Structure 1
Amino acid sequence: MLEPVRHGEFLCPGLVETTVDVMSSTNLSRALVVADGAALKLSRDGSLPAGTSLWSLPEIRTRILALPHAAAVNRAKRAATLASPLPESVGESYSRAVFELLGFEQPALQHAFADREGFIGRSDFWWPAQGVVGEFDGKSKYVQAALRGGITAEEAVYREKIREDRIRALGHGFVRWRWVDLQNPDRLRAKLLAAGVRIRAL
């Protein structure tokens, strides 16, 4: 995985090298977006076993531990440990970084819900200890036809409301947020606390 990749006439750093460089040199929000994307690619090609993080891969771990500065090692290790192939958008990855920075427990990802009528859907985030479902509401899933699966924007909003109502009927809390909340973490903290999500115990 450390072999350079050819793009046309150019040789570029490989996926592992590039991911570690990003994780070690930028803030957690940006690093986790890249790390989750790398985890998804490695999972799809069979290099990342199910239920593991990037930190579990010897190639990643060795490269991180070889970084010359302790601060870079710590930044990269934190992102690699959190990295998962399960987030389905940049907003979901970014949200996970903000949860971590705010001190909330990391939720389960893509949890499936069902009721007596059958399958309801998968949630972006699920805090089982508090019984709270979280959803990142990016505008694109309502306005981009390719993400709506061939239905109108109005129908997408209606189906999302029905899905939320069915999940709430199971007795679960439900909280939604947008990019503006991620860019103002105090707003997201207030939303999560109001929904019943709790700060991680020290």
Structure 2
Amino acid sequence: MNLSADIARGGVIYSTDHARVGSDIRELTRAVERGELVKLRRGAYIPAALWEAADERTRHLWRAEAASHDARQELPFAGATAATIWGMWLHSHPEEVTFLDRWKGGGRSEPGVRRITAAAAGAGLRRIEGRLVTDVARTAIDVARAADFARAVGTLDWALWRRNPHRVSRERLAEELRKLPGTMRRRFVERAIVFASPLSDSYAESYTRALMFELGYELPELQVEFPHSTGVYAVDFCWRARRVIAEFDGFGKYLDPALNKGDPARTVLAEKLREDHLRGQGYAVIRLYWSDLMNPAALIAKLDAAGIPRGRR
């Protein structure tokens, strides 16, 4: 096989394919040393140029493909890997690939792989673009069981999200949780299911709302609509009695041509007009950023300055 052609073609490159036709697999190691390939796991590589250009989700999908290639049989993807395939909201995409397996050894059986065995026999399965995965409810519950509260809420919100064509009901999530043996984190996940909402429109909104709850703040209404001359503005968070609005401001809409239609200046202007209109309705507007979420003291300072009550600690 021609390694240069493989690199140019893209996709995961396997040493077994090269060995089968008598190619020197040591050339793959040398390509890693030259910076032409990135090693995903033993015997699996990806062109370095592709790796550098890829986002976390795409990198995790490559790892999943490589791990599945090595499996003794087809196993369903589960946990964060299934969530990645479904496109669920996640805080981050781990390096570890997760499978569902009836084998009761459990845990981490090989480098870069984790196997979930709890209630494996009764798990609902689906195929997404050829990949066998746990269904939405089981996937969301598995992710929530392994997460902290705010991250669990982010994924559960996606499972309920009103705009999600794969959405499930709150009752379906609770039913899936009851199928799992024991009481490990059951009450924690039950609490997150009750708190989850179909109204959050992004992981950032979900995570922010969960942090507000954990910090003891009065919770806002979600997606409150304010009519204007050409439509309505739906705001992320609104405390009507306090006359306060909070908006999570991600930078993607300014920097990503796919989101700003190639005209970031127009996006900035639209945001200014939106905020001017909301302030004109007598509301204070708080801008929240990822840095505020990663440093709760900054979030606390903004909410306190806006007069949002914090009665429960």
**Alpha-carbon distance in structure 1 between the residues aligned to 2:295 and 2:150:** 13
Identical positions, percent: 34
Indicate if the aligned counterparts of 1:25 and 1:75 stay in contact, CA closer than 8 A: no
Q: What displacement does 1:83 show? A: 1.6
> What TM-score does the superposition give when structure 1 sets the normalisation length?
0.82
Amino acid at match of 1:15: V
Is 1:120–1:163's contact at 8 Å kept on the other side of the alignment?
A: no
- CA distance, structure 2, for counterparts of residue 42 and residue 66 of structure 1: 27
**What is the letter of the counterpart of residue 24 of structure 1?**
R
The CA distance in 2 between the partners of 1:153 and 1:10, in whole Å, is 37
In structure 2, the residue corresponding to 1:129 is in which secondary structure? Answer: helix
Contact 2:220–2:238 (CA under 8 A) maintained in structure 1: yes
The Cα of 1:120 is off from its aligned counterpart by 4.7
Change (3 A) 1:118 1:30: same
The answer to whether residue 249 in structure 2 is matched with residue 113 in structure 1 is no
Once the two structures are TM-superposed, the CA of residue 13 in structure 1 deviates from its matched residue by: 1.6
Q: Find the partner of 2:197 among 76, 79, 84.
A: 84
Q: Against the structure 1 CA distance between its residues 113 and 9, is the aligned structure 2 distance closer, same or farther, given a 3 Å change threshold?
A: closer
What is the rounded CA distance, in whole Å, between the counterparts of 2:232 and 2:240 in structure 1?
17
Whole-Å separation in 2 of the counterparts to 1:127 and 1:34? 24
The answer for unaligned runs of 5 or more in structure 2 is 1-122
Compared with structure 1, are the counterparts of its residues 176 and 82 closer, same or farther at alpha carbon in structure 2 (3 Å cutoff)?
Answer: same
* Cα drift, residue 88 of structure 1: 1.9
TM score, norm. by length of structure 2: 0.55
| Equivalent position SS for 2:246 | strand
Residue 183 of structure 1, CA deviation: 0.2
Q: Does 1:36 align with 2:149?
A: no
Within 5 Å, give how 1:1-202 maps onto structure 2: 3-7=124-128, 11-40=132-161, 44=165, 47-48=168-169, 54=170, 57=171, 59-68=172-181, 70=183, 72-114=185-227, 117=229, 119-148=231-260, 150=261, 152-200=263-311
CA–CA separation in structure 1 for the residues paired with 2:280 and 2:269: 17
> How far 1:29 moved relative to its partner?
2.0
Higher relative contact order (CA 8 A, sep 6+): 1
Cα-to-partner distance string for 1:158-178 (whole Å, 9 max, x where unaligned): 211111111111111210110
Question: How many residue pairs get matched?
Answer: 192
Deviations 1:140-161 (A, max 9, x none): 021112222x261122112111
C-alpha spacing 1:118/1:193, structure 2 compared with 1 (3 Å): farther
Q: CA deviation at 1:46?
A: 7.2
When residues 9 and 122 of structure 1 are mapped into structure 2, their CA distance, relative to the original with a 3 A threshold, is closer
Partners of 2:236 and 2:146 in 1: CA distance: 28
Query: Cα RMSD between the aligned structures?
Result: 2.6
Q: Tell me the alpha carbon deviations over residues 95-128 of structure 1, each in whole angstroms, 9 at most, x when there is no partner.
A: 111111111122211111125x464511111112
1:35-59 C-alpha deviation (Å, 9 max, x unpaired): 11111278645754xxxxx2xx1x3
Aligned AA for 1:182?
L
One-letter identity of the residue aligned with 1:153? P
Residue number in structure 1 paired with 2:15: none
Question: Is contact 2:150–2:210 with CA below 8 Å preserved after alignment?
Answer: yes
Q: Unpaired runs of 5+ in structure 1?
A: 49-53
Equivalent residue letter for 1:103:
G
User: What one-letter code is carried by the residue in structure 2 that aligns with 1:85?
Assistant: P
More helix by share: 1
Q: Deviations over 1:16-51 (max 9, x none)?
A: 111111222210121112111111278645754xxx
